[in-house]
Amino acid sequence: MLPPAFLVCALAAVAHASPHHAHKVFESIASPDGWANLGAAPIDHIIPLRIALPQANFAALEEHLYAVSDPAHERYGAHLSKSEVEALVAPHPDSVSAVDAWLLEHGIPDSACTRSPAGDWVSVRVPVPVAERMLDTTFHVWKHTEDGNEIVRTTRYSLPAHLHAHVELVQPTTLFSRVKARRAEARSVGVQARVHDVRGVVAVARSDGTKLTVDAGCNETVTIACIRQFFNIGDYRASGTNGNQIAVAGYSEEYANAKDQQLFYADQLPEALNTTFKYVLVNGGKNGQDYDSDTYAENSDMQTVLGLAFPATGTYYSTGGEGPWIEDSDTRTDTIAPYGAWLDFALAQEKLPQTISTGYESHEQTIPESYAKRVCAGFAQLGARGTSLLVMSGNGGVGDAEGDPRTQSCWTNDGRHKRQFLPSFPASCPFVTAVGSTVFIPEVAAYSSGGGFSNYWSRPSYQGRAVSEYLTTQLRGTYAGLYNPNGRAYPDVAAQSINFRVALYGQLTAAGGGQQATAAFAGLVSLLNDARLAHGKPPLGFLNPFLYSSGLAVFNDITSGNAPGCGTQGFNATEGWDPITGLGTPDFGKLKDLALAF
Ligand SMILES: *[C@@H]1O[C@H](CO)[C@@H](O)[C@H](O)[C@H]1NC(C)=O
Ligand SMILES: *[C@@H]1O[C@H](CO)[C@@H](O)[C@H](O)[C@H]1NC(C)=O
Ligand SMILES: *[C@@H]1O[C@H](CO)[C@@H](O)[C@H](O)[C@H]1NC(C)=O
């Protein structure tokens, strides 16, 4: 049902004549791969338009972010408050009035609009004909050729010329991307994880010449105890009373299951039995606890993060798609790039968890650059406020690790159909920490570990030296033309990723993939934050400036393994940073000493 305010604005819109200002094309994309155009959108379909106004002082926000995240800076740890961040991303008053006047021209009063706290996003629900007049475009129904999901989109839209300087993007228009989390390999439900039937311990050589002792069974099944050994966590335990929080951001109709959390605790962390985590629904997200539902997919990341960070407070964010799509009875809610919806929610909170893990990816090229940049700017705001955001580097190597090299996943979608390694978003955003995947003892890069170079963001200075060393001494021109040598390179770090022993659908099973590596690394970061909080220090916040400076020396460099894709052997794990395991795997003891020294 439509809210009353909307009815007023829709009726008014119908009564209004078309705008008098001349429109100019604002954004245009090639016909999207994998989607079929089914014809004009129904006129009673409601489009939840989101209009982004330029963030007037984003450059200043970025400066603050780097200052408070660089251990060598005197302002390290002096994170900004919610209102300080909002003041920096607020739009210029001229942009606000220009957009308001345009909306009013189309019969949309202020009362029909929802604004983000900083005013940098304006949302309004309008029927297709109104959106078409506002954007001088035609909306069509597009159907995904694989799963049949239908969405209403356009490949080109216009704005009055005088508005071009006052609007950064309007969506959903050209956004055809999809969020991927788990692949077949990553959800082996029904395969009973082998219990530690391998006895004894093995010595794991580390790149600094020292050795770690790890249970031999960890080569086959990765338990929380194994992760504690791989990460050299020793007997460190979080306190549970210092306000330390960790969250998992889930999308794509995947849910953390409370019963399975207990089963996991019974199996591996009995002291956590009967404790719960918070479940927060965002943007129509659901709380699917019913094993039988056919739309239900489980997300075990909460088990891994709390397996390490317990008794920190845990939160699972279940974020719905940015729909609504075609709202007939048998079409499932789609899940296209809901990162923005989650960010709206997160940035509106006064207090944020210090550590957040998210195991999802989309091909960067499927997200319009303007939209990806705004989402990435939102991640920068989280960092400026003191949150460490860990994202998965991907499950498909440089393209599609398992896929057919001739499929679309190794080709540009810009109409040129050029063969390319395809970077993943959000890993390619320079304001997140991207986690790659390792496997086995001794640790090698996992064949599925995602990695590469962004086409949207140039290389941030914090990784300049590490990455150029890789390019000049290791890659030396190989794959020229298949990747952007000047782009933000990822992953930043790596962790074990395959055969995690978790509980899914009421049974103990093995699950693996980049999301497990990400959750494990997030658990480690939460323990580091715990140590800092226990010493009265602010949390670590945005990690990369720390990891690539003093942190660099204490990572365990992973130097073998490769992640094939796109008909190539992909990148190799090498000495120093590489685009498959980043700086390597973490050593908690050493990172904690560093983190407590500043
Ligand atoms: C958890 O709750 C169950 C059911 O109330 C109870 O039998 C059990 O003793 C509790 N376990 C712990 C560790 O608190
Ligand atoms: C771990 O498993 C891998 C793959 O099966 C094997 O190559 C390696 O030797 C094993 N490591 C140990 C310590 O057994
Ligand atoms: C990866 O290593 C193999 C074996 O040493 C080598 O032949 C290949 O050229 C390397 N590839 C890249 C991209 O560095």
pLDDT of residue 146: 79
Distance 331 CA to ligand 3 centre (A): 46
Distance 274 CA to ligand 1 centre (A): 6
Report the residue among 267, 269, 273 best suited for mutation to probe ligand 1: largest number of ligand atoms under 8 A from its CB: 273
Whether 202 is in the pocket of ligand 2, judged by its Cβ within 6 Å, is yes
CATH number for the domain harbouring residue 581? 3.40.50.200
Give 313's strand partners. Answer: 245
Strand partners, 453: 489
Q: Which helix (H) or strand (E) is 358 found in, with range?
A: strand 355-358
Total domain count, the chain = 2
The rounded Å distance from CA 572 to ligand 3 centre is 6
Site to substitute for ligand 2 among 198, 204, 219, most atoms within 8 A of C-beta: 219
Q: Cite the DSSP H helix spans in 310-432.
A: 339-347, 369-384
What is the gyration radius of the CA atoms in the chain, in angstroms? 24
**Tokens coding 460:** 């941030």
552 belongs to a structural domain: yes
| 379 Cβ neighbours under 8 A, 6+ residues apart | 343, 389, 426, 429, 431, 432
Rounded to the nearest whole angstrom, what is the distance from the C-alpha of residue 271 to the centroid of ligand 1? 10
According to DSSP, residue 396 is labeled: S
Q: What is the DSSP letter of 472?
A: I
Question: Which residue, of 136, 171, 206, is where some domain finishes?
Answer: 171
Residue 166 and residue 249 in one domain: no
Q: How would you write 504-518 as a 3-class SS string?
A: ECCEEEEECCHHHHH
Tell me the CA–centroid distance for residue 183 and ligand 2, in Å. 24
pLDDT digits (tens, 9 = 90+) for 67-110: 999 999 999 999 999 999 999 999 999 999 999 999 999 999 99
**Ligand 1 mean position, distance from CA 437 (Å):** 36
Ligand at minimal distance from the CA of 572 is: 3
CA nearest to 419, candidates 431, 432, 430, 406: 406
Give the per-residue pLDDT at 254: 85
User: Which protein residue has the closest C-alpha to ligand 2 atom 12?
Assistant: 441
Whether residue 242 has its Cβ less than 6 Å from ligand 2: no
- Which residues are paired to 318 by β-bridges? 250, 281
Lookup: tokens for 280 = 């927060």
From the CB of 441, is ligand 2 less than 6 Å away?
yes
Which residue puts its alpha carbon closest to atom 2 of ligand 3? 572
Task: Give the type of residue at 452.
Answer: G
* Residues 270 and 137 grouped into a single domain: no
Please choose from 572, 578, 580, 581 the residue to mutate so as to test ligand 3's pocket, defined by most ligand atoms within 8 A of CB. Answer: 572
Specify if 208 maps to a domain.
no
Instruction: Mark whether 113 and 22 lie in a shared domain.
Output: yes
Task: Please state the rounded mean pLDDT for residues 131-145.
Answer: 94
153 domain residue, yes or no? yes
Average pLDDT over residues 118-140: 95
Q: Residue for token digits 């010493």?
A: 535
Pocket mutation for ligand 3, best pick of 472, 475, 559, 569 (most atoms within 8 Å of C-beta): 569
- Whether residues 167 and 242 share a domain: the answer is no
Phi-psi group of 566: left, alpha or beta (phi > 0 → left; psi -120 to 50 → alpha; rest → beta):
left
Kindly state whether residue 65 falls inside one of the protein's structural domains: no
Name the residue at shortest CA distance from atom 5 of ligand 1. 274
Residue 8 backbone dihedrals phi, psi, to 5 degrees:
-55, -50
* Spatial separation of the C-alpha atoms in residues 151 and 163, rounded to whole Å: 27
> Domain boundary at 155, 171, 187, which?
171
Same domain as 248, residue 150: no
Specify if 187 maps to a domain. no
Contact 88, 60 (CB under 8 A): yes
What is the total residue count of the chain? 598
Give dist(CA 64, CA 384) in Å, integer.
7
Q: Is 56 left (phi over 0), alpha (psi -120 to 50) or beta?
A: alpha
Atom of ligand 3 nearest to the CA of 474: 14
Query: Is the pLDDT score of 190 beyond 50?
Result: no
What tokens were used for 598? 């500043």
Question: Does ligand 2 come within 6 angstroms of the Cβ of 468?
Answer: no
Q: 43 and 147 in contact (C-beta within 8 Å)?
A: no
pLDDT in tens, 375-419: 999 999 999 999 999 999 998 889 865 555 555 478 888 888 888
Higher pLDDT, 426 or 298: 426
The bridge status of strand 35-40 relative to strand 140-144 is antiparallel
Q: Which two tokens stand for residue 545?
A: 């400036």
Instruction: Kindly report, residue by residue over 429-474, the tens digit of the pLDDT.
Output: 999 999 999 999 999 999 999 999 999 999 999 999 999 999 999 9
What's the mean per-residue pLDDT of the chain? Answer: 88
**Same-domain status, 377 and 494:** yes
Task: Say how far apart CA 286 and CA 29 lie, in whole Å.
Answer: 32
| 150 plus 243 within the same structural domain | no
The pLDDT of residue 182 is above 50: no
Domain carrying residue 586: 238-595
Rounded alpha-carbon distances, angstroms, from residue 154 to 28, 41, 51, 169:
9, 10, 15, 13
Alpha-carbon gap, residue 48 to 142, rounded angstroms: 17
Beta strands in 177-288 (DSSP E): 187-188, 201-205, 211-215, 245-250, 254-255, 278-282
Residue matched to tokens 């629900």: 125
Reply yes or no on whether the pLDDT at 573 is more than 90: yes
Ligand 2 pocket residue status of 198, Cβ below 6 Å: no
Q: What is the dihedral of CA 260, 264, 265, 267, to 10 degrees?
A: 140
In a domain, 359, yes or no: yes
Rounded to the nearest whole angstrom, what is the distance from the C-alpha of residue 350 to the centroid of ligand 3?
A: 49
Of 123, 153, 171, which marks where a domain is finished? 171
Q: Minimal CA–CA distance to 390: which of 285, 282, 523?
A: 523
Closest atom of ligand 2 to 219 CA is 1
Tell me, yes or no, whether 125 and 267 share the same domain: no
Q: What is the pLDDT of residue 187?
A: 40
In 91-244, beta strands by DSSP E:
114-115, 121-127, 140-144, 150-153, 156-160, 169-171, 187-188, 201-205, 211-215
439 C-alpha to center of ligand 2: Å?
10
Cis peptide before 491 (omega within 30 of 0): yes
Instruction: Name the residue of 196, 441, 499, 560 whose CB sits within 8 Å of the most ligand 2 atoms, as the mutation to test its pocket.
Output: 441
Q: Whose CA is nearest to atom 13 of ligand 2?
A: 441
The ligand that comes nearest to the alpha carbon of residue 561 is 3
How far is CA 563 from each of CA 312, 438, 533, rounded to the nearest angstrom?
Answer: 34, 10, 38
- Please choose, from the candidates 591, 575, 553, the residue with its C-alpha nearest in 3D space to the C-alpha of residue 388: 591
Tokens of 548: 């690539």
- Closest by CA to 521, choosing from 427, 585, 592, is 585
How far apart (Å, rounded) are the C-alpha atoms in residues 364 and 360?
12
Other C-beta atoms lying within 10 Å of the C-beta of residue 550: 16
**Residue in 435, 595, 587 with CA at minimum distance from that of residue 530:** 595
- Phi and psi based region of residue 381 (left: phi greater than 0; alpha: psi -120 to 50; beta: remaining): alpha
Same domain, 155 and 23: yes
- Look at ligand 1, atom 1, and give the residue with the nearest C-alpha: 274
Stretch among 330-339, 421-430, 495-504 having the lowest mean pLDDT? 330-339
The DSSP output letter for 442 is T
Q: What is the pLDDT of residue 332?
A: 33
Question: Which residue of 562, 574, 575 sits with most ligand 3 atoms within 8 Å of its CB, as the best mutation to test the pocket?
Answer: 562
Residue whose pair of structure tokens reads 């003041």 in the numeric block: 87
User: Which residues are near ligand 3 (CB < 6 Å)?
Assistant: 474-475, 478, 562, 569, 571-572
Name the token pair of 52: 């982004």
Q: Does residue 407 share a domain with residue 284?
A: yes
215 is a domain residue: no
Answer yes or no: is pLDDT of 13 > 60.
no
pLDDT band at 338 (very low <50, low <70, confident <90, very high): confident
Separation of 410 CA from ligand 3 center, angstroms?
20
Pick the ligand that lies closest to the CA of residue 216: 2
In the Cβ-directed half-sphere of 347, how many Cα atoms lie within 13 Å? 30
pLDDT of 2 reads: 37
Q: Whose CA is nearest to atom 4 of ligand 3?
A: 572
- 147 and 255 assigned to the same domain: no
Q: Is the CB of 534 within 6 Å of ligand 2? A: no
Cβ contact 160:140 at 8 Å: no
566 phi and psi, to 5 degrees?
Answer: 55, 35
Residue 202 lies in a domain: no
* 9 burial level (CB within 10 Å; 0-12, 13-18, 19+): buried
Specify which residues 478 forms β-bridges with: none
464, 583: one domain: yes
Predicted local distance difference test score (pLDDT) of residue 9? 40
Q: Which ligand is nearest to the CA of 276?
A: 1
Which residue's C-alpha comes closest to atom 3 of ligand 1?
A: 274
Q: Is the peptide bond before 586 cis (omega within 30 degrees of 0)?
A: no
Q: Which two tokens stand for residue 467?
A: 């990455």
Give the residues surrounding ligand 1 with Cβ less than 6 Å away: 273-274
- Ligand 2 center to 358 CA (angstroms): 29
- List 362's β-bridge partners, or say none: 425
